[in-house]
Each structure stands twice: as structure tokens, then as C-alpha cells.
Amino acid sequence: MRFIKTMLAATMLCTLGAGLTAKAEPYDDGVNQRSYTAMKDKKVAFVPLSMGFDLTQGWAAAMQLQADAMGYELIIRDPNWSTDAGAQQITQLISQKPDIIVVHNPDRNAYARLLTRVQQQGIKVLQVNLKSEATTEAFVGVDWYRIGEHQAKSVVEACKGKSGKVAIMQGRITDPANFITVQAVKDVFAEHPEIQVVSDQSSEWDATKAQGIAATALKQHPDICGIVGLWDNMDVGTAAAVREAGLTGKVFLSSSGGGRKEADCDMVESGAFDEVVIYDVTRQGRDLNAAIAFLLQQDGEAKLNPFALITPLRVVTKENLDERSCWKMEEIQSFLQ
């Protein structure tokens, strides 16, 4: 017993001693100091589609958190939904020489050449959620094909023994997210001859247009059994049309989104959405930070294989809905911790 006590005391003394020396000279475990210096005073730029909506606000909040902790600068350039303005801002950023540019692409082609040019200047490019045709150092985001696959399968399942008539509510047809998801949805439906797509329209991501289109489609085919909607904020309109037609619960509505409470969980709770496929923005924020930390710690010259951090999907229905299913914009900081 006494032996153990002595040993314990000795260990404590040693630890204390180590602690004391650590104060004089920062403790170096071989990689921590290296990583601090690699990130200190660096510049990371973020060019979203636009600031001010749930996805980009969430990512920016997450990236700011790590930037403050690690002492690098986060520059945000907001093109406010304009592809031209975005291209201009990326071009301007080249002369500012940030270490990384985080790009949220408006479509598959718009920035493709520009991103290659950015890379030639030795600036690393991290793409988020929407991937351009150009493959760059890193991608953080969703596998849209999987989302579409899942949504289509749910609708097929819900339509078993019913009319088999379904609708697809598209956003903007040139968006990569839209393009890939719809591809997946159609691939799944093609395997099921009983499924008949009676309405396949684009609402330009606008809830009011979605409402109009869905209302017309439901009037024409009141026996529609399922709708695949491509975005929560647009599908509030789709859901309103279903409710207005008195078909809530009869038409299976599947949507997808970033997990903001008002846009997703509240909609599932009220029965407006039968399911929502969530790509958690707070999780994506942490993944972005991991990718940024990784990229900043690479030497410029070393050859880097392109890598992706694919966001895991979470399917929320009335059955599994709970407090942790979604996040709130006002409390984003605490959700990120």
C-alpha cells in the first residue's frame, strides 16, 4: 500500500514538474506545435452562393469558430446569388493570395476553369456541397445521388398498392444538386414499371411556384401517391398545396435539407413532410474545419490525392424525430461545439 502511495506521489510530482516546464516552453508532442504554426496567420476565403441562408450561415459560423481558435483569417465574399459576381470575387481573391478558397458552386460548369486557374496559383480549393466538373484538392458535402436514391425508394415504398402516380418537384435544372438527385430518382423509378411520373416540373427553388405546380398536378391527378421534393425551403410550398387539397397523409411527401429546425423538423412534426433527408449543416461545418486544418498543414509542393468527406445522411420521420434531429439558427454556436 505504502509503495503504491509513494509511486502515486512520485507520478504526481513528475506530472507537475512537466506542467511547470511546459509553461516555460510550449509542450510539443511532435505534431501539435507544428499544426498551430501551420495554421497561424493563414488566410482562408469562402465564396458561397449567397450568405444569409441556413446552409451558408451554418458553415460560416463553424469556419469562423476554428479560424478564431487557430488564429487564421476567414474572408467571406458574398456574391448574393450572382454567378458573375462570384466569378469576379474568386478572380479578385487570386491576387489576395489566400491559402485556401472554399467554393460553393452555383452549377457544374460556371467556375470549372476558374478553379483550375486558382489551383495553378498554388491556392488550394475546397468545394462544398455542390461539386464543379473540375476536381480540386478536397470536397466536403453530400452525395446527391444517394439522397435521390433514398427519396425515390421511399416514395416507391409508400406507393405500394396505390395508383403508382408520382410527381417530382425540381429546383433549378442546371444546379448540380438538382441534376444529380433527379438522375438518381429517375434511375430508381425506371426499375419500377408500376411507377408513373405524372408531373416533373421545375420551380426555380421558389416555394410559391412549387405551390402552384403541385396544386395543379394534384387537381389533375388527385390519386398521386408520392412526391419527391428536392429542397425543404421550396417544399413548404409543395406541402401547402398538399394540405390545401386535403391530401396530407395520403400523398407521401419526401424532401431534403440542411437540418434547420423550422425548415425540417417542424415540418415533419406537423405532418407536412412525411420524411426529410437531412445533411446536417453542423456536421458539415466540422468536416469543413477538418479539411481546412488538413490542407493548411500540407506542404505546398507535396502531391495530394483529391479527397472527399461525404456527409452522412439522416432520415427524419415522425417516428424518430427528437430534439437532436435539427439545429436552430439562433443556437448554431452551441450546436457546433
Query: Cβ of residue 59: shortest distance to other proteins, in angstroms?
Result: 14
Provide the binding-site residues for other proteins, judged by CB under 8 A. 50, 52-54, 57, 80-81, 170, 173, 198-202, 204, 206-208, 210-213, 215-217, 219-220, 233, 236-237, 239-240, 243-244, 262-263, 266, 272, 329
Query: Cβ of residue 160: shortest distance to other proteins, in angstroms?
Result: 24
Q: How many CB atoms lie within 10 A of CB 305?
A: 6
Q: Which is nearer to other proteins, 197 or 293 (CB)?
A: 197
Indicate the SS3 state at residue 204. Answer: coil
Q: Which is nearer to other proteins, 38 or 239 (CB)?
A: 239
Q: Which is nearer to other proteins, 92 or 220 (CB)?
A: 220
CA angle 228, 312, 128 (to 5 degrees): 85
Query: Cβ of residue 50: shortest distance to other proteins, in angstroms?
Result: 7
Query: Cβ of residue 240: shortest distance to other proteins, in angstroms?
Result: 5
Q: Which is nearer to other proteins, 211 or 254 (CB)?
A: 211
d(CA 208, CA 297): 46
Do 315 and 150 touch, CB atoms closer than 8 A? yes
Contacts of 5 (CB under 8 A, 6+ apart): none
Do 75 and 93 touch, CB atoms closer than 8 A? yes
Q: Which is nearer to other proteins, 136 or 325 (CB)?
A: 325
Q: Of the candidates 137, 130, 131, which has an alpha carbon nearest to the alpha carbon of residue 292?
A: 137
Query: Cβ of residue 36: shortest distance to other proteins, in angstroms?
Result: 33
**Which letter does DSSP use for residue 304 in this model?**
-
